[in-house]
Amino acid sequence: MDILDWENPALTHRGRLPARAYFFGHPDPDGARAGVREESRGFVSLSGPWRFRFFGHPRRVPASFADEEQPGWDEVTVPHLWQLDGYGQLVYTDEGYPFPVDEPRVPADNPTGAYQRIVTLTAPAPGEQVLLRFDGVESYAEVFLNGAFVGMTKGSRLAAEFDVTRLVRDGDNLFAVRVLQFSDATYVEDQDMWWASGIFRDVYLVTRPAARLTDFFARTRIDGGAAVVDVTVWAEGTERVDLTLGLAGEPVASASAAPGGTATLRVDAPRLWNPEEPVLYDLLLTVVGADGAASEHVGHRLGLREVTIVDGTLRLNGSYFMMHGVNRHDHDERRGRAVTMERVRRDLELMKRHNINAVRTAHYPNDPRFYGMCDEIGLLVVAETDVETHGFDLVGDLSRITDDPAWEATFVDRIERHVLAQRNHASVVMWSLGNESGDGCNIAAMYGRARELDPTRPVHYEEDRNAAVVDVISTMYSRVSQMADLGEHPMGKPRILCEYGHAMGNGPGGLSEYQAVFDRYESIQGHFIWEWIDHGLRSEAPDGRVRHLYGGDFGDFPNNSNFCIDGLVFPWQEPSPGLVEYAQVICPVRVSHVDGDVVVENRRWFTDLADVRVAVSETHDGVEIAATTLVPGAVGPGETWRTPLGLTPGDGERLLTFTVTSVAEHDWAASGHVLGRYQSEPVPGASPAQSGRSTQESRPGAAPPDVRLGDHLYISTRAGELAFDPISGDLTAWRSGGRDLIAAPLRIGFWKPLIDNHAQENERLWRPRHLSDLRTSVRSVDWRVEDGAVVIDVEARIAPPALGFGMQVSWVWRVTGDGAATVAVRGRAEGDYRDIVPRIGLSFEAPGDLRRVAWYGRGPGENYPDSRAAAPIGVWASDVDSMFTPYVVPQDCGNRGDVRWAEFADDAGRGLRVTGGEPFHFSAWPYTCADIDRAAHPTDLVARDTVTVNLNHAVLGLGSNSWGSEVLDGYRVRFDDFAFNLTLCPISQEA
């Protein structure tokens, strides 16, 4: 039996040209410097409409498709993924291959797309070269032009270029491409994303002149106070290439080189590239023709910088640095991986606005324009190539093909093409050989080839965990304690945490503790959150409501459900609370208040604080009483600045809030953009924090309440009437100011809607113990009048069915004549369960019009005990709908912590106010807990005519244990003895 090309790992292509740097020739120097490829010499875009037909088997594609028009076929717009246009089956898996493992073979019924496009062209002049380039095709493509076979390529996220000079003719030209979804290449492209196929990046033609540049390699070394740039050039049809290096339109160095030779450009007093000040010089390469005239001009924006390893640490231009990073997949909510560059740009600008300085291209090369954007915007890139064999883990042999010499060509081809394409980019600080592919001989071969092609950069690969081969040590999802141990015992090479903080759903938590470890140990030089964006695919219901689909929603099997919904950014490119938290944790300027001084620390690596302003607000009980702005000045990297600033005497709780901004203006952020916020430790006042609204509780001289016993215990106060059930002890009704304040009784609870990051705890601890279905058995209800108040004592046991553990609880209501109702709750644990629970607190239903919320506590956004750095204490206002975070999979959300008081009011300002004996947590939803737990998508939720209010004594931290770190000990809530109290009272709009 013949070996099929798409099942032969030793064959990586037919007719494909060697990889090279990404560049275009222009007729004049100004055009070359501008770098607009659509205006380059001989550029013809082939993106746009193509005829298309989907087949279930490669051999079902008619042979005539290569040389005959197929007018009856459908039309699609390239770039695209055909599954998102309604052809074939979308599948999501995290690691498993979507077919039986039988490497290098793939299913015979291999989904296949056939493409055709007719383009009117002019035949090339003598000596000219016409290149056909695909920037991304998944996973195997055969290319034809005018009926002739051009070539074949594998390597989905790597560019493929073909010489079609001899095949282009005057007039109409028929381009035909046969794309197979699966091939032997699929076994190294199992990268935790949607399995989808097609021509998903741009395709275009470029006509090159007879005298032309074919490649170049620029590298910089620092020599004292100068930058020395060595540029090797390769060219055809010429004996000389002239090079000029300029800045802001002024030339600073020039030289010439013969093809295959190297020119050296020396720049004195250079402005070196770094992610905080990404200065780019204009490198102009001019190819001189046989007649002595310029044949073409090629431009490249070059950052002058040098990456070295000194004493086991990475240095950029001789300076230590740390990468505060994210892992980024290409994803568009409508187009999947067929992303537009406008969307890519928005991703990168969002990163910069959230203090991120590094990105790992997980787990494949990006569109070639991505790297130029990172050069320009200032992002460090861990440039990963197109390799992951994760599916072999499910057959118990992750290294199966990684350690098989028969696959060496496949592995080495992918790093070779990647390095050759991107090695001129300043932003690329290290190469990465791939992800989760085990270890073996092919990793060593890849490393050798990468260093041969580019000796200037270190190489990373996480599975080589002791860096026996590579230059940078790496792990993923190491816990905080593990990272501390690794930092305590460095291994003589730089270390990064290439994945951590799994951002699935609500989370991640614990980032501040991670960052404290990173900051403590110099050998830890990078950390990359998994991951940047949720991979949800937009779906619109007939009524216009929008949801985002994930594994299983397309009938795909096997699937990993919503494991692809694990980003810091929602599918529509809105930052999640997790991204807001991360931005604060990695803020490059730190502010503290120490012994009466404001201390400003520069946590940047390369630039000073001349652009930084620190706005200071002093509040008493959340009300601002003084404000000023501090200008630290040119504080250098790693340095601090101090100035005295005391607190104004007063009775209320006193706080200093510091808002750090930058007056620098960038394409990605306006002057005045916020870098971060900090607060001093609260100084307690002599009186409790009060809201500005009038409460019945605060009015003196109230008469004792009246009591009437009927089917309920009715308690009349100056502010209204409360009704308690004498059997259950429930507060069943409360009216004040002509309206109801509650719609259902208060209940003690330990459950809240499950979040993704607690799924493992649920499976291991909570589900077996029926924690979501605890039952309350009230054993006694007593009431009495005491010291001018009505006191109701309730004793009960809360426990799961079928099991022996539980919680003996008592809650004591005290209702006073001014209308206030205080509830003191105590619990005593029984039985053998003392492990973690989601929360300890009270919940009740409020009338649906009590939707206006104000509070004094952490805000304005969602925050949790281990994710609150971005939530300063203050007085905030919102509404119930806005406080419900739109996670792709509904789950617990909207918590506000360290709350002194909270109010729930209608549009007239009437409602209920809650204060605590100590700070508490609250959340408010337009749904019930059960509604949220049942929902797979937001469209499954139907708003109730009530509001669920949760008043929690303790809330379990988030952690990131959907894949990673459990909740740290300091943020755990255990099923153990507890006590707390809250006071509820009516409010009005009166002054």
Helices 511-520 and 480-488: angle between axes, nearest 10 degrees: 0
Give the whole-angstrom CA distance, residue 506 versus residue 414.
36
Give the whole-angstrom CA distance, residue 506 versus residue 756.
7
Give the whole-angstrom CA distance, residue 567 versus residue 333.
13
Residue 374 CA: distances (Å) to CA of 33, 35, 850: 17, 15, 48
Residue in the structure block whose two tokens are 């109702």: 821
Contact in structure between 361 and 379 (CB atoms under 8 Å): no
Active site residue 388: no
Measured on CA atoms in the order 51, 57, 60, 62, is the torsion positive or negative? positive
Contact in structure between 178 and 58 (CB atoms under 8 Å): yes
Contact in structure between 946 and 929 (CB atoms under 8 Å): no
Residue in the structure block whose two tokens are 């001189």: 288
CA 7 to chain centre: 35
Contact in structure between 854 and 902 (CB atoms under 8 Å): yes
Taking the CA atoms of residue 754, residue 757, residue 758 and residue 763 in that order, the dihedral angle to the nearest 10 degrees is: 100
Contact in structure between 472 and 496 (CB atoms under 8 Å): yes
Q: Which of 436, 618, 653, 845 is catalytic?
A: 436
**Contacting residues for 741 by C-beta, under 8 A, at least 6 apart:** 720, 734, 735, 846, 847, 850, 911, 912, 986
Q: DSSP per residue over 735-759, as a string? A: EETTEES-SEEEEEES--PPPGGGH
Q: Is 232 exposed, middle or buried (0-12, 13-18, 19+ CB in 10 A)?
A: middle
Using the 8-state DSSP alphabet, how is residue 836 labeled? B
Q: Is 826 exposed, middle or buried (0-12, 13-18, 19+ CB in 10 A)?
A: middle
What the block records as the tokens of 476 is 């993923």
Helices 408-422 and 368-377: angle between axes, nearest 10 degrees: 40
What the block records as the tokens of 878 is 């919102």
Beta bridge partners of 255: 243
Amino acid identity of residue 839, one-letter, is R
Q: Is 396 exposed, middle or buried (0-12, 13-18, 19+ CB in 10 A)?
A: exposed
Three-state SS at 300 = strand
Q: Are strands 720-724 and 262-268 parallel, antiparallel or unpaired?
A: unpaired
Helices 441-453 and 408-422: angle between axes, nearest 10 degrees: 30
Q: Which of 499, 601, 618, 697 is catalytic?
A: 499
Give the whole-angstrom CA distance, residue 518 versus residue 526.
8
Cis peptide before 300 (omega within 30 of 0): no
Give the whole-angstrom CA distance, residue 821 versus residue 697.
9
Give the whole-angstrom CA distance, residue 796 versus residue 202.
67
Starting at the edge strand that comes first in sequence, how are the strands of the sheet with 428-432 ordered? 459-460, 428-432, 380-384, 358-360, 323-327, 524-529, 495-500, 473-476
Give the whole-angstrom CA distance, residue 534 versus residue 329.
9
Active site residue 436: yes
Q: Angle at the Cα of 244 (from 240 to 249), degrees rounded to 5?
A: 150
* Catalytic residue numbers, as ranges: 436, 499
